[in-house]
Amino acid sequence: MIVNRISRNYLHLSLMGVLIVVGFSVLKANAQTNSSEVTCNVSEGVPLVVKSRANSSHIRKNTAPQYKRISSQPRVHLYPASIVRLQGKAFLVERAGQNLTEQKMLYQGGELQLGDVVQTGNQSFISLRLGDGTLSMLPSNSRIQLSQSSNSVGRFILQAGTVQNKVIKKPRARSNTFEIQTQGSMIGVRGTAFSVHGTEQGTSVVTLAVEEGKVWVRPRNSCVAPTIVDAGSGALIGVSTRKVPLLDAPNLKNADVAQPNEQLHFELKPVSGAVRYRAQVLRDVNTLETLAEYYNREPDLTFDIPDLPNGYYYVKLTAFDDLGIESLSKTYLFLRNRNTRVE
């Protein structure tokens, strides 16, 4: 009887040893397969899971069971994205991961697919709307790739230039509802108005300006506690994130003066700390329909928009500090009433 008991115990221990070896082999294979993967939420302080090439270890934010939340909201399809406004020339330069041998000119009312890469020309502006209502505008000489981090969270990859965004705030959102990815950072929001500008270093160093809501910023390749940038603040984002308060919005000296001349002329009150000023002329502030923009180091902006008909328009004024961070903005309605009579 003692011999039989010893035999059974030995067999039991042997089976456990086999199971442990098999389990270890499976874990090792999974670690090798996902060795370079980093998964985290931009707005989470600590990663839920981090898979590292060095030790393939798992780091969890907490040990409580994670249950999948079942949403009662209808599923929203982000793509195709709609081209709601287009001024000047914008091109589709890449589709389905392939560079197009001939760039396709885009048109207002057209659609863009997941993965498309869009480029704007000089003095050209395109406004895009995703299926969830997120609205983004690319000004001159900007380039983005349309992406997503999940079926319900859009993501634009900024490759050059600037992108301005208005993201609808979703009730009870517990994570990002829209993201901007740059060469070195991830920027996540849940409902806000903000802009991201590339710099002379491309998109490895970018500037961020937040006018409404708040924005979470973290490095792309690590799950560290994000930097939270609130409304009225900006940031220079590179190897690290440096937060600063936004400059005040510029004010027009004569806000009620019409524009009767060939060139538009906007004289601003100087903003303390500003090294550059910008005026954007818009037809529709709700769709960010932009017709032209002009920069100057002095608070005196004089420029021409060829063939601009008489009528009412908006001018959006901002300033930039010595870091290149855009200020708060102020928008004015103005009348273009150029005298076109021939004497």
In a domain, 154, yes or no: yes
| Residue 239 maps to a domain | yes
Q: If pLDDT is split at 50, 70 and 90, which confidence band does 55 have?
A: very low
State the pLDDT at residue 28. 41
Looking at the fold, whether 95 and 205 belong to one and the same domain comes out as: yes
Q: Indicate the pLDDT class of residue 247, thresholds 50, 70 and 90.
A: very high
Both tokens of 150, joined, read 């999940």
In a domain, 45, yes or no: no
Rounded (10°) CA dihedral 149, 99, 131, 232: 70
- 199 and 332 share one domain: no
Evaluate whether residue 9 is within a structural domain: no
pLDDT tier at 74, thresholds 50, 70, 90: low
3-class secondary structure, 264: strand
Does residue 291 share a domain with residue 213? no
Give the span between the Cα atoms of 59 and 44, in whole angstroms. 14
Specify whether 232 is located in the same domain as 306. no
Q: Is the pLDDT of residue 331 over 90?
A: yes
Q: CATH no. for residue 132? A: 2.60.120.1440
| Pair (235, 113) in one structural domain | yes
pLDDT band of 72, cuts 50, 70, 90: very low
- pTM (predicted TM-score): 0.78
Q: Give yes or no: residues 273 and 228 share one domain.
A: no
pLDDT, tens digit, 9 for 90 and up, residues 190-208: 888 999 999 887 888 999 9
In a domain, 71, yes or no: no
| pLDDT the model gives residue 171 | 67
CA distance 190 to 296: 33
Domain's final residue, options 183, 211, 245: 245
Q: What is the pLDDT of residues 144-158, one digit of tens each?
A: 999 998 888 999 999
The token pair at 212 is 């409404």
Residue 75 burial (CB count, 10 A): 8
Query: With 90 as the cut, is the pLDDT of residue 188 above it?
Result: yes
**Residue 99 within a domain:** yes
> Is the same domain home to 114 and 241?
yes
Same-domain status, 187 and 316? no
pLDDT at 36: 37
Which distant-in-sequence residues (6+ apart) come within 8 Å of 234 by Cβ? 207, 208, 209, 210, 243, 244, 245, 246, 323, 325, 326
Q: Which residue shows structure tokens 């997941």? A: 114
- CB 85 within 8 Å of CB 287: yes
Domain stops at, among 212, 245, 278:
245
pLDDT greater than 70 at residue 18: no
Tens of pLDDT along 94-105? Answer: 998 899 999 999
pLDDT at 280 over 60: yes
Looking at the fold, whether 185 and 114 belong to one and the same domain comes out as yes
What is the arithmetic mean of pLDDT over 165-193? 86
pLDDT at residue 31, rounded to an integer: 40
Is residue 165 in a domain? yes
What percent of the chain has pLDDT above 90? 62
**Has residue 266 got a pLDDT over 90?**
yes
Q: How far is CA 4 from the centre of its chain?
A: 69
Give the CATH number of the domain where residue 305 resides. 2.60.40.2550
Q: By C-alpha distance, which of 275, 80, 268, 81 is closest to 163?
A: 81
Summarize the confidence of residues 65-94 as an average pLDDT: 78
Chain-centroid distance, C-alpha 28: 36
pLDDT in tens, 299-330: 999 999 988 999 999 999 999 999 999 999 99
Q: Answer with the one of 245, 277, 300 that is the final residue of a domain.
A: 245
pLDDT band at 342 (very low <50, low <70, confident <90, very high): very low
Q: Does residue 169 share a domain with residue 93?
A: yes
For the ranges 10-24, 38-52, 160-174, the maximum mean pLDDT occurs at 160-174
Neighbours of 16 (CB within 10 A): 10
- Candidates 170, 162, 206; CA nearest to 189 is 170
213 and 148, same structural domain?
A: yes
Which domain does 273 fall in, by range?
264-336
User: What is the tens place of the pLDDT at every residue in 113-143?
Assistant: 999 999 999 999 999 999 999 999 999 999 9
Structural domain count of the chain: 2
Whether 290 is in a domain gets the answer: yes
Residue 173 confidence (pLDDT): 62
Residue-wise DSSP of 43-112: T-SS-SEE--TTT-----S--SPP-PPPP-SPP----SEEEEEEES-EEEEEETTEEEEEEEEP-TT-EE
* 138: number of Cβ within 10 Å: 26
The DSSP string of 91-108 is EEEEETTEEEEEEEEP-T
Judge if 141 and 179 occupy the same domain. yes
